[in-house]
Amino acid sequence: MNFGVLGGGIVGLTTALELQSQFRDARVTIVAEKWSTDTTSAVAAGIFRPAASFAGPTEEITQQWIEDAYAHWDGLRRQEGSARVGICNLSGYLFSSISPALVRNPRIEKILPLYRKVTEDELKICPGDWKYGSFFSTLLTEFRTFQPWAEKKFLANGGRFVTRSVRKITELEKDFDLVMNCTGLGSKWMLGDNKLVPVRGQIIKVKAPWVKTAFYGDYDTYIIPGFEGVTLGGTRQFDSYNLNICKYDSTSIRERCQDLLPSLRGAEVIRESVGLRPHRDPVRVEVEFFETSHGKPMRVIHNYGHGASGVTTSPGTAKYAVKLVRDALSGRSHL
């Protein structure tokens, strides 16, 4: 079999590796216009805390994606070592003065090693009138560290990369036996999928090696230590296509994060980044058949629309998508 994976971000990369794992004799090619640091994945902090807006076709499937993803990241960390693959354990606090629901996450509370209500003393760790809080232990995957390891493994397994701009998915009809579409926001134009909405995120990466714990506050405020510094965020601007750094957002992020953790004042900036999260409700992981010029339907498995949870959940949706590949090849998927 000759598989094509369209998209060079975290979803495309994890899907390609899952294909190689399940179809060892197949040829797998990743086709993309943008790679590595040019992708939205490179902006993400990568903490395993799926957004409340992340949803599959059913609650049962959504939960399975999340559980499979956590098991994958944790297994990879144990097998390969944290520094090599960019996956580590991380604990954090969630604080809110608005609602107790904002510090809960039912989908992961039973998966993570620890997820509990904070004590009264812990509510005073960060300045502010905090009324509700949770403490949790989770994982973090730094895409900029994981990506070179994953690409090396993909190549070692016989995979190949092709840099190419694809405007219509049927352009690939003669190149592959089956195509995995992992283009994220690109599917909005390539497929005319108007359920896809960009959610703009801006972050600041700073040097603050003394910060070892993640902190979340109200108004999309977060501080997340990683392999390449500490991520300060953020913004969540619905239906925004602005990829430029906004000085007003930068000021707001710094002020909110420094109010939450005063020791960040004066921390050196490493870089500022903007990404457009590809939000879709529900996340699309399904098979579709396209008419072609030679009459034989083109088989495509879609895997996109993860929003802010791409790095978090990609191994789970990849596993599900590859199952759909088997169904499509065996004839269990129909026109």
Instruction: Give 317's DSSP letter.
Output: H
Q: Which residues are annotated as a binding site for D-dopa?
A: 222, 277
Task: Report the distance separating Cα 186 and Cα 306, nearest Å.
Answer: 13
Per-residue model confidence as pLDDT tens digits over 263-315 = 999 999 999 999 999 999 999 999 999 998 777 899 999 999 999 999 999 99
Question: Which overall architecture, per CATH, does domain 2-330 show?
Answer: 3-Layer(aba) Sandwich (3.40)
Which residues make beta-bridge pairs with 138? 90
Q: Of 91, 88, 90, 66, which Cα lies nearest the Cα of 77?
A: 88
Return the pLDDT at 332: 62
Return the pLDDT at 334: 47
pTM of the entire structure? 0.95
Return the pLDDT at 335: 38
Question: To the nearest 10°, the Cα dihedral for 152, 158, 162, 168?
Answer: -120
118, 235, 242 from 42: Cα distances, Å: 32, 16, 17
Return the pLDDT at 19: 98
Q: Which residues are annotated as a binding site?
A: 40-41, 166, 183, 222, 277
Q: Which residues are annotated as a binding site for FAD?
A: 40-41, 166, 183
| Ranges of the chain with pLDDT below 50 | 334-335
Contact 301, 325 (CB under 8 A): yes
